[in-house]
Structure 1
Amino acid sequence: MAQTDRRAQDTNAVDEPYVPAARRLPEITLKALLLAVVLAVVLAGANAYLGLKVGLTVSASIPAAVISMAILRFFRESNILENNIVQTAASSGEALAAGVIFTLPALVILRYWQGFEWLPVMAVAITGGILGVMFTIPLRRALILQTRLKFPEGVATGEVLKVGAEGGRGAKTLALAAGAAAVFKLCQTGFGVAASAVSGAVAAGGAIFAVGSGLAVALLGVGYIVGLNIAVLVFMGGAISWFIGIPLYMVLAGPDQVQTITQGAAGYEAALAVWSERIRYLGVGAMAVGGVWALVSLAGPVRDGVRSSVDAMRRARSGEEGGLARTEQDTPINFVLYGALAMVVPIFLVFLFVVDQDALGISGGLYFGTIIFGVVFAFLAGFLFSSVAAYMAGLVGSSNNPVSGVTIATILAISLILLGLLGTQVDFGVDAGRATSAAATAILVGGVVCCAAAIGGDNLQDLKAGHIVGSTPFKQQIMQIVGVVAAALAIAPILSVLYQAYGLGGVFPREGMDPAEALTAPQATLMASVSEGVFAGGLPWGMFGIGCALAAAIIVADRVLEARESGFRMPVLAVAVGLYLPIELSVPIFVGGIVAALAGRALSSRRAALGDDFDQVNLRAARRGLLFASGLITGEALMGILLAIPFAAAQTTDVFALGPEVLGLGEGVFGVLVNALGVAAFIFFALWLYRVASAARG
């Protein structure tokens, strides 16, 4: 285990950037700026559709890097830092889209909004996004240089950029993996001839024991990059929820309560309903405690980072020598502070514009007090959860970062506080309209925080890639704001088009629309249920409390492991991620971690035979495995975004589907073949990754 951990650390450590600090290349050029803006808008639109349709978004860092390399190659002069600048802005636009679609559609689902007006949507997105950029700038040194988190997708993006600049055998490894993963994704999501997930369940004694596994090879690659330790913790969280929490709840709650939740569903679907309605709140509680603990743990490194930035600014003003190297120059801390504080005014104005005093039925004094409190809460919670999301991106990557989980914690907190404040003048139990207005107020605050958190996680991932290739941090931070602004200006029209075309979460703009084609907006639906549930009653507070207690126990266990200098650690947020995410996402990450450990062990067994060449062979094999895993992430992400274009144009995800009638098969036979092909292909990719990562030659 110790050998595996050292190998993973060597794989992800970047002591010297690809482009040395002493070398200066053009970064923010006109062509890079224009391409970045276009990609930010396009990828934001594609991810908005995917997120509203299936509840998952795809990190755009790697696809944007690949697209940038393909386009800028046509220019006589381009370089790796330009490509990194493009992907930085483009992925910020995609991340902002996630922050918006997880929250603001809840206002339509609550029927508080009748559509998506450009000004309030843009204002929430741009203020929350810029706060996310500003809040995470002081975290760069703390999380990337000091804590040595893995940032799997940031590492993958950096390797993709390096391979694009170098070409050669590494490029072939990455391209082969990416091509195979893209074809598999096309067969899964496009043609529908390979399963994207498999599941099963067994009923015993009034309880259901269910398990499922996603068959996404991108998650396999993420598991390989994060390594066995984090993969085990994520799976442990899923196992607690699914193998203990769901069966135990079903036994203790009784058949009547379970029937109310499952609505007649059986087997795995029944377990999924119980998890969605009750057990996932274990993860919400664990994230709340884990988030506070992460912020406390990061206080020292963040303080040191701020001091370093202030010192660098002082030296630059006084003309002293010995300033920071180009690759360590962040945006000056005074700009960060003033920029964050400047967002208070537009946040106040948008809250004033959207929150309806008459609908709430409260006095003018309480109304303005509520608005001011909402602004302060959004500002403070934005900082907290931007930090938490940045930390979690370092653990499990941006695509698997449960931003919606920390947003739920935000909405729970602000809803409870608003219930205490507004309940002095309003009886929400007898006035559903006012309960809806109060819930909408909480959603609005949550929207700012969610945008900040989504950007926070994505930005640290991009800064990790920049650290690998040798970019200038403050130039990346400028482009992060560019990406936020571009996506914020476009996101409201995108949401309006999608709402008019499909409907959202059971709410339709006109009669006669097909409910089967509606965008389910699962996160926004959950946000609406949580916020309204606080005012109307019925939330599972017991589960939230148990999750808090679990997190506290895990923190204590991790401190014990730290005192014993154990090679295995238990960062609480990794377990909280597993508690909150569906187990289908935890299993492939776990498999990827196992592959990484087995590959490291296979190489270690050859130490005696390789002799003095062992260290070099080990590093080459680690790089091949990293490139292959990065290729898996790249291929699936690219194909997922490419498929969104025809899906949106045809207004259906079945545009390429090859159903049983097309192939001349019965439903039962077709289903068996689809599952068999999906499982077999996933196993094949796992074995392929192991072979590439454990080969002693090449």
Structure 2
Amino acid sequence: MPDNLSEKFADSPSKSTAEITVRVVVLGLILSVVMGAANVYVGLKAGMTVSASIPAAVMAMLLFRLFFKNSTTLEANQVQTCASAGESLAAGIIFTMPAMILIGYWTEFDYWTVTLVAFTGGLLGILFMIPMRKVFVVDNEELKYPEGVACAAVLRAGEAGEEDEAGKRLLIGGVLGGLVKVFGGFLGLIHGSLETAGIAGSRIFYFGGDLSPMLIAVGFIVRLNVAILIFIGGAMAWLIGIPLLGGGLIGDGVDGAVDQAYGIWSGQVRYVGVGAMVVGGFSALIAVRHGLVAAIAHLWNGMTAERDLTQADTERDIPSWAILTLGMLCVGLLAMMNYWFTNNVAITVLSTIVMLVMGFFFTAVANFIVGLVGNSNSPVSGMTITAVLVAGGLLYLANYTGMDGMVATLGIAAIVCCVACTSGDVCNDLKTGSLVGASPFRQQMMQIAGVTVAAFVMAPVLTLLHEHGGGIGSKELSAPQAGLFASLAKGFAGEGELPWKLIGIGAGLGVAILLIDEALKRSGAKFRAHLMPIAVGMYLPFGLATPILIGGLIAHFYSKDKPVQEHDTVLHRGVLFSSGVIAGEALTAVGIAGLAAFGIQSLQLGLSPGLVTGLSCLAAALIVIVFVVMAKPLPQNKR
């Protein structure tokens, strides 16, 4: 792919200027709900989400080709813009709202609270991003937006009539992801993970990996550098940290040793990752300080300048007066929600101000990182941890503790998380739009529509998975971020004691990793030691890191001999297949939970444990083989 992407895409204009039509709105809203539901499961299980832009773009092109021969690239772009808004909102919700269950405030998800948090946080993310568009999307040559560029390439491939091949890979990937989930989660023919542990001299040694093609797909999409960093973080926590802390009891067997390893990680080791992520959050904030100032100046200029009636569609945003009007609506809703939580006017004012200020700052952080490494790699967890620490500290100084203090802290974190997730997605989609000649104004309207509709389905999906999918906090739905935020909130509210020593060790490691990464950057090394993926690996179950590494290795195998600028093209078929796998496994998991809600429970066929283990090993090998085959790029003379 040529270096000057804007010129490359400009050489192939869209067939029509049609963008928002009835079919676009209907399909976009449907996919927003579907992608949002799928990513609720992905986030609760894997602790991270991936962008829905590419699969949504391919689905839109396929459906339009089947039913509307006169559809345009710009219409497909608007569909994926709306659909990805639902996906990003899911990420913001599942990282925080499950913590309300884990602290004991809720026994089930409150529909209107979840909906209000989702809608308000998502809308604020869009509104905060709009004045930053020129700063981060238009005028910033440093930020390459890998996922935004890849999505634009997919849309252009649709213009060239290549969507049939893309659709085939999405479909096969969806079937693979769905079948593995049915065989494991419904029929019990294979294990959810292959893991083992042993105890030697009171030291626990663990290794394992989840049997999930979805995680291999995540690794393929984020590629080898990030996959290795996640694995390094997991190795530091599980292969080094757990043996160092010890505590193993002889005689409990393999299952007992595995349970003890999880206990040490959950209660101690992952707090090292918390400290590292706090450092990462603040370092990212410092890195984008100039962009923040420029964004504020742009917003002020938009308020004071007269409207340019000659402004082209490709340059027009939602006007500043509309941003301020919708923003005031959000402020009112936030104040109402905070007062509902706290019944205290002073704390309501403090909480609302903290939400708005931190939301705006982390919008800039999210935009910068999405432009640098892609939407799937945005360290939203680190930003939310920082929000929990700041909010919890301020409320503690205000002598606001107990359950009310925990709820207020988590409410602030939930809004900040939704803002960061949604604004990063908006930024990514606006980059795609700029490459294909879309109207920013129309994209922003579709994003608002997608967030609004998706907000109303978050609570039902969470409830379904909690009651019939294993339960929040279980091994199946570990919800690692929510567990961390619950622990931090308890510590600040006086309901528990935070392991500050371990957090401090993590902060020290974070500083060391930042110094290593700076040295690598100055040396011109291709491999970078980004802090956030390492910290993520520390506080995720190690079983997730292993398949993610396998996916990264497959991507590297196919791209290692190619120039960097050609990697998107070489891995394009694999990305489409991976997107299908993620959607297939996630939606099947939601479907299985839905069947359970209607009384159709999973079928356990009563196979012997040894036979299930053998089938699991065979399935693991087959999954990797299918990935290698389906991700194989076309020969160079056929591209």
- The 3 A distance-change label for structure 1 pair 270 and 46 is same
For residues 501 and 216 of structure 1, the distance between their equivalents in structure 2, rounded to whole angstroms, comes to 19
- Aligned equivalent of 1:458: 425
**Aligned-residue offset at 1:520:** 6.6
Q: Identical aligned pairs, as a percentage?
A: 35
- Aligned equivalent of 2:594: 649
For residues 218 and 109 of structure 2, the distance between their equivalents in structure 1, rounded to whole angstroms, comes to 35
Q: Does 1:627 align with 2:620?
A: no
**Aligned-residue offset at 1:289:** 1.7
Higher deviation after alignment, 144-153 or 128-137: 144-153
Q: Does 1:276 align with 2:243?
A: no
**1:186 aligns with one of 178, 183, 189:** 178
For the 8 Å contact 1:158–1:469, the answer to whether it is kept is: yes
- Aligned equivalent of 1:681: 623
Q: Does 1:540 align with 2:507?
A: no
For residues 230 and 396 of structure 1, the distance between their equivalents in structure 2, rounded to whole angstroms, comes to 9
**Aligned-residue offset at 1:436:** 1.7
For residues 97 and 376 of structure 1, the distance between their equivalents in structure 2, rounded to whole angstroms, comes to 24
SS at match of 2:8: coil
5+ long unaligned stretches in structure 1: 1-6, 357-366, 429-434, 507-514, 605-617
**1:90 aligns with one of 75, 78, 83:** 83
For residues 696 and 201 of structure 1, the distance between their equivalents in structure 2, rounded to whole angstroms, comes to 49
For residues 368 and 531 of structure 1, the distance between their equivalents in structure 2, rounded to whole angstroms, comes to 21
Counterparts in 2 of 1:93-132, with a 5 A limit?
93-113=86-106, 116-132=109-125
**Aligned-residue offset at 1:347:** 0.9
- The 3 A distance-change label for structure 1 pair 222 and 102 is closer
- The 3 A distance-change label for structure 1 pair 386 and 267 is farther
- The 3 A distance-change label for structure 1 pair 66 and 638 is farther
- The 3 A distance-change label for structure 1 pair 693 and 373 is farther
For residues 304 and 373 of structure 1, the distance between their equivalents in structure 2, rounded to whole angstroms, comes to 26
For residues 184 and 594 of structure 1, the distance between their equivalents in structure 2, rounded to whole angstroms, comes to 20
**2:383 aligns with one of 406, 410, 428:** 406
SS at match of 2:633: helix
Q: Does 1:351 align with 2:338?
A: yes
For residues 167 and 465 of structure 2, the distance between their equivalents in structure 1, rounded to whole angstroms, comes to 33
Counterparts in 2 of 1:23-38, with a 5 A limit?
25-38=17-30
For residues 361 and 355 of structure 2, the distance between their equivalents in structure 1, rounded to whole angstroms, comes to 10
**2:528 aligns with one of 562, 569, 580:** 569
Higher deviation after alignment, 624-633 or 46-55: 46-55
**Aligned-residue offset at 1:636:** 0.9
**1:44 aligns with one of 36, 39, 54:** 36
- Aligned equivalent of 1:531: 489
5+ long unaligned stretches in structure 2: none
Q: Return the TM-score normalized by structure 2.
A: 0.84
For residues 128 and 453 of structure 2, the distance between their equivalents in structure 1, rounded to whole angstroms, comes to 20
Paired amino acid for 2:338: F
Higher deviation after alignment, 441-450 or 98-107: 98-107
Paired amino acid for 1:381: M
For the 8 Å contact 2:41–2:586, the answer to whether it is kept is: no
**Aligned-residue offset at 1:351:** 0.8
**1:421 aligns with one of 379, 383, 398:** 398
Paired amino acid for 1:317: R
Counterparts in 2 of 1:162-241, with a 5 A limit?
162-168=156-162, 171-172=164-165, 174-192=166-184, 193=189, 197-214=193-210, 216-217=212-213, 219-241=215-237
- The 3 A distance-change label for structure 1 pair 496 and 183 is closer
For the 8 Å contact 1:52–1:101, the answer to whether it is kept is: yes
- The 3 A distance-change label for structure 1 pair 138 and 596 is farther
Paired amino acid for 1:444: G
Q: Return the TM-score normalized by structure 1.
A: 0.77
**Aligned-residue offset at 1:126:** 1.7
For residues 143 and 601 of structure 2, the distance between their equivalents in structure 1, rounded to whole angstroms, comes to 40
Q: How big is each residue's C-alpha offset from its partner over 1:267-318, in whole Å with a ceiling of 9 and x where there is no partner?
A: 3443233223222222222222212211221222454566567778988735
Paired amino acid for 2:395: L
Q: How big is each residue's C-alpha offset from its partner over 1:470-494, in whole Å with a ceiling of 9 and x where there is no partner?
A: 3223322221111111222444455
Paired amino acid for 1:527: F
**Aligned-residue offset at 1:548:** 1.7
Q: How big is each residue's C-alpha offset from its partner over 1:2-59, in whole Å with a ceiling of 9 and x where there is no partner?
A: xxxxx9xx69955533686798611122221233233333443454466567766564
For the 8 Å contact 1:284–1:406, the answer to whether it is kept is: no
Higher deviation after alignment, 389-398 or 34-43: 389-398
- The 3 A distance-change label for structure 1 pair 667 and 660 is farther
For residues 639 and 668 of structure 1, the distance between their equivalents in structure 2, rounded to whole angstroms, comes to 28
**Aligned-residue offset at 1:406:** 3.5
SS at match of 1:77: coil
For residues 269 and 536 of structure 2, the distance between their equivalents in structure 1, rounded to whole angstroms, comes to 13
For residues 447 and 263 of structure 1, the distance between their equivalents in structure 2, rounded to whole angstroms, comes to 40
Higher deviation after alignment, 54-63 or 208-217: 54-63
- Aligned equivalent of 1:609: none
Q: How big is each residue's C-alpha offset from its partner over 1:465-523, in whole Å with a ceiling of 9 and x where there is no partner?
A: 334433223322221111111222444455566667779548xxxxxxxx99x977655
**Aligned-residue offset at 1:527:** 3.3
Paired amino acid for 1:443: L
**1:242 aligns with one of 238, 252, 261:** 238
For the 8 Å contact 1:153–1:222, the answer to whether it is kept is: no
**Aligned-residue offset at 1:225:** 4.9
For residues 217 and 649 of structure 1, the distance between their equivalents in structure 2, rounded to whole angstroms, comes to 22
For residues 34 and 200 of structure 2, the distance between their equivalents in structure 1, rounded to whole angstroms, comes to 49
For the 8 Å contact 1:392–1:573, the answer to whether it is kept is: no
For residues 20 and 305 of structure 1, the distance between their equivalents in structure 2, rounded to whole angstroms, comes to 31
- The 3 A distance-change label for structure 1 pair 76 and 539 is same
**Aligned-residue offset at 1:443:** 1.6
Q: Does 1:438 align with 2:379?
A: no
**1:300 aligns with one of 284, 287, 290:** 290
- Aligned equivalent of 1:611: none
**Aligned-residue offset at 1:240:** 2.3
SS at match of 1:343: helix
For residues 530 and 685 of structure 1, the distance between their equivalents in structure 2, rounded to whole angstroms, comes to 39
- Aligned equivalent of 1:288: 278
For residues 54 and 232 of structure 1, the distance between their equivalents in structure 2, rounded to whole angstroms, comes to 16
**1:79 aligns with one of 53, 67, 72:** 72
Counterparts in 2 of 1:603-622, with a 5 A limit?
622=567
- Aligned equivalent of 1:370: 347
Paired amino acid for 1:210: Y
For the 8 Å contact 1:96–1:451, the answer to whether it is kept is: yes
For the 8 Å contact 2:118–2:418, the answer to whether it is kept is: yes
Paired amino acid for 1:629: G
**Aligned-residue offset at 1:667:** 2.3
For residues 238 and 482 of structure 1, the distance between their equivalents in structure 2, rounded to whole angstroms, comes to 38
For residues 415 and 176 of structure 1, the distance between their equivalents in structure 2, rounded to whole angstroms, comes to 49
Q: How many residues get paired?
A: 632
Paired amino acid for 2:529: M
Q: How big is each residue's C-alpha offset from its partner over 1:204-262, in whole Å with a ceiling of 9 and x where there is no partner?
A: 443223333345555545545544444433333333223322222x24xx569x99xx9
For the 8 Å contact 2:150–2:568, the answer to whether it is kept is: no
For the 8 Å contact 2:469–2:589, the answer to whether it is kept is: no
Q: How big is each residue's C-alpha offset from its partner over 1:54-96, in whole Å with a ceiling of 9 and x where there is no partner?
A: 7665644344334433443313532122122122222212322
For the 8 Å contact 1:160–1:630, the answer to whether it is kept is: no
For the 8 Å contact 1:215–1:682, the answer to whether it is kept is: no
